[in-house]
Amino acid sequence: MKNIFPKDFIWGTATAAYQIEGAWNKDGKGESIWDRFCHEEGNILNGDTGDVACDHYHKWEEDLDLLKDNNIKHYRFSIAWTRIIPNGTGDTSAAGIDFYSNLIDGMIERGITPWITVYHWDLPQALQDKGGWTNRESVEWFKNYVATLVDLFGDRVNDWIIFNEPSVHSWLGHGLGFHAPGFNEESTYLKALHHINLSIAEGYRTAKSIRPNLNVGSSYTLLPTYPENENNDEDVTATKRMFEIWNTNHFDPLFTGAYPAFIQEKMGNIMQDGDDAKLQENLDFIGVQHYNALHSTHSESHIFNVFFGEKPKGIPQTDYGWMIQPDDFEKCLVWLSDHYDLNKKNIPIVITENGAAFTDPVVDGACNDERRIDYLSGYIGAVEKAIKQSAPIQGYFVWSFMDNFEWADGYSQRFGVVHVDYDTMKRTPKKSLLWFKDFTEKH
Ligand code: BGC
């Protein structure tokens, strides 16, 4: 295929604070809901925690050198709220501010453009103790946090992602209980959903009111959903709900001010007068994250009677059991662009995460992760095809720069283009990193 990526197309890699930093209680960092969740027995596979993770807190210079040596020009990372404001509101921590300040300066010195994710799921536990996202005050806490970061780093960082994957945080964290803070009720889901959606739009406005020239977007999952059994009406209904949970429960309020009808009816007084206007915003870009196709089944024991169903046989999967179907990615991107009229609104898409878990080991100093190379070339090909159908895509970030803590599945899944030996903390660039370097240099 003829290369159609423009010269200024953004190529980068991504990580998140809790998944790589470690140093969970160092230098005055406050406890987050993920610290708490991991320390409670039974929540994480093998009892893993992010206490040490990749020890990036101490090895950040080596990590930035690796980015530079491999010509990665854009790096997306997240800030731990509890390093900057240990209790969520109130006093800031000089040590936490220094850590991120040095990290940002380190990137700039190496010619790497920093992309900050303001929030990647690690709410301060002190705020969780006040109800967390189920408390409407969370919108104010979040605005204050956004303003603090923009005041601190807005002089050096132009590209901002307000919130990472609200769908995962609201459903897995507040509707199923698989993620922190571990709630599994309809009411906690609905409250978190609404307050998070409000916080994204308000967070955007807060950042722009301080520095109007910043490039501020937010990142969303975008996944197709299929019924486990297409001849079963209940599975078909579950599939519709699954699509809402992952996609339209967030995109619809952002673009139209209303939830899909099924959710809108359930909102009751969680949604207050005037909220429809507050939910809406034309972000500077939409971050899209895509990994999988979801098969859905009717379940009496989960909220909205929806749960993950069996996947069809015969479709290639990653080592995580996620479907490899680049065509789905292409269709999703074109759907997003057309359904919400992004070209007309002049809102570009940036792929802020895409990647795959494969557990290839290091042998004789090398990690030959050919399957990841195939995966990435297929999915980047899908981006190219979507652009041809006029989806306004400006960039692509690989998830992840390095192997890291994969939430409820601990260290069992390896998404990195850099291998991490968790015993020695040695980093080994995988073959896919070299492939990505080469590919992006040519494109
Ligand atoms: C998240 C990452 C996560 C990745 C793979 C996304 O849901 O933003 O933190 O590691 O997908 O599960």
Q: For the segment 353-391, what is each residue's pLDDT rounded down to a tens digit?
A: 999 999 999 999 999 999 999 999 999 999 999 999 999
What distance in angstroms lies between residue 14's CA and the mean position of ligand 1's atoms? 10
> Which ligand 1 atom sits closest to the C-alpha of 221?
7
- Evaluate whether 196 touches 170 at the Cβ level (below 8 Å): yes
Choice among 21, 202, 228, 353 that is catalytic: 353
Confidence of residue 4 (pLDDT cuts 50, 70, 90): confident
418 DSSP β-pair partners:
402, 429
Q: Which two tokens stand for residue 183?
A: 């709630």
- Domains belonging to the chain, first-starting first, are 10-442 (3.20.20.80)
Q: Which two tokens stand for residue 180?
A: 């922190």
With 0-12 / 13-18 / 19 or more C-beta atoms within 10 angstroms meaning exposed / middle / buried, residue 321 is exposed
Choice among 165, 330, 384, 406 that is catalytic: 165
Binding site membership of 122 for ligand 1 (Cβ less than 6 Å) = no
SS (H, E, C) the chain: CCCCCCCCCEEEEECCHHHHCCCCCHHHCCCEHHHHHHHCCCCCHHHCCCCCCCCHHHHHHHHHHHHHHCCCCEEEEECCHHHHCCCCCCCCCHHHHHHHHHHHHHHHHCCCEEEEEEECCCCEHHHHCCCHHHCCCHHHHHHHHHHHHHHHHCCCCCEEEEEECHHHHHHHHHHHCCCCCCCCCHHHHHHHHHHHHHHHHHHHHHHHHHCCCCEEEEEEECCCEEECCCCCHHHHHHHHHHHHHHHHHHHHHHHHCCCCHHHHHHHHHHCCCCHHHHHCCCCCEEEEEECCCEEEEECCCCHHHEEECCCCCCCCECCCCCECCHHHHHHHHHHHHHHCCHHHHCCCEEEEEECCCCCCCCECCECCCHHHHHHHHHHHHHHHHHHHCCCCEEEEEEECCECCCCHHHHHHCCCCCEEECCCCCCEEECHHHHHHHHHHHHC
Binding site membership of 322 for ligand 1 (Cβ less than 6 Å) = no
What distance in angstroms lies between residue 291's CA and the mean position of ligand 1's atoms? 9
pLDDT higher than 60, residue 181: yes
Q: What is the pLDDT of residue 2?
A: 61
Q: Assess whether the previous peptide bond of 227 is cis (omega < 30° from 0).
A: no
pLDDT higher than 80, residue 3: no
Confidence of residue 438 (pLDDT cuts 50, 70, 90): very high
Protein residue closest via CA to atom 9 of ligand 1? 16
Q: Which of 48, 77, 165 best tests ligand 1's pocket when mutated (most atoms within 8 Å of CB)?
A: 165
> Which ligand 1 atom sits closest to the C-alpha of 16?
9
What distance in angstroms lies between residue 431's CA and the mean position of ligand 1's atoms? 22
Binding site membership of 360 for ligand 1 (Cβ less than 6 Å) = no
pLDDT tens per residue across span 107-166: 999 999 999 999 999 999 999 999 999 999 999 999 999 999 999 999 999 999 999 999
pTM above threshold 0.75: yes
pLDDT tens per residue across span 339-348: 999 999 999 9
> Which ligand 1 atom sits closest to the C-alpha of 168?
7
What distance in angstroms lies between residue 322's CA and the mean position of ligand 1's atoms? 12
Could you tell me if residue 321 is left (phi over 0), alpha (psi between -120 and 50 degrees) or otherwise beta?
left
pLDDT higher than 60, residue 1: no
Q: What is the mean pLDDT of residues 212-234?
A: 98
Q: What is the mean pLDDT of residues 180-209?
A: 99
Binding site membership of 116 for ligand 1 (Cβ less than 6 Å) = no
Binding site membership of 357 for ligand 1 (Cβ less than 6 Å) = no
Q: Which of 353, 409, 415 best tests ligand 1's pocket when mutated (most atoms within 8 Å of CB)?
A: 353
Binding site membership of 353 for ligand 1 (Cβ less than 6 Å) = yes
pLDDT tens per residue across span 61-119: 999 999 999 999 999 999 999 999 999 999 999 999 999 999 999 999 999 999 999 99
Residue 353 among the catalytic residues:
yes
pLDDT higher than 90, residue 440: yes
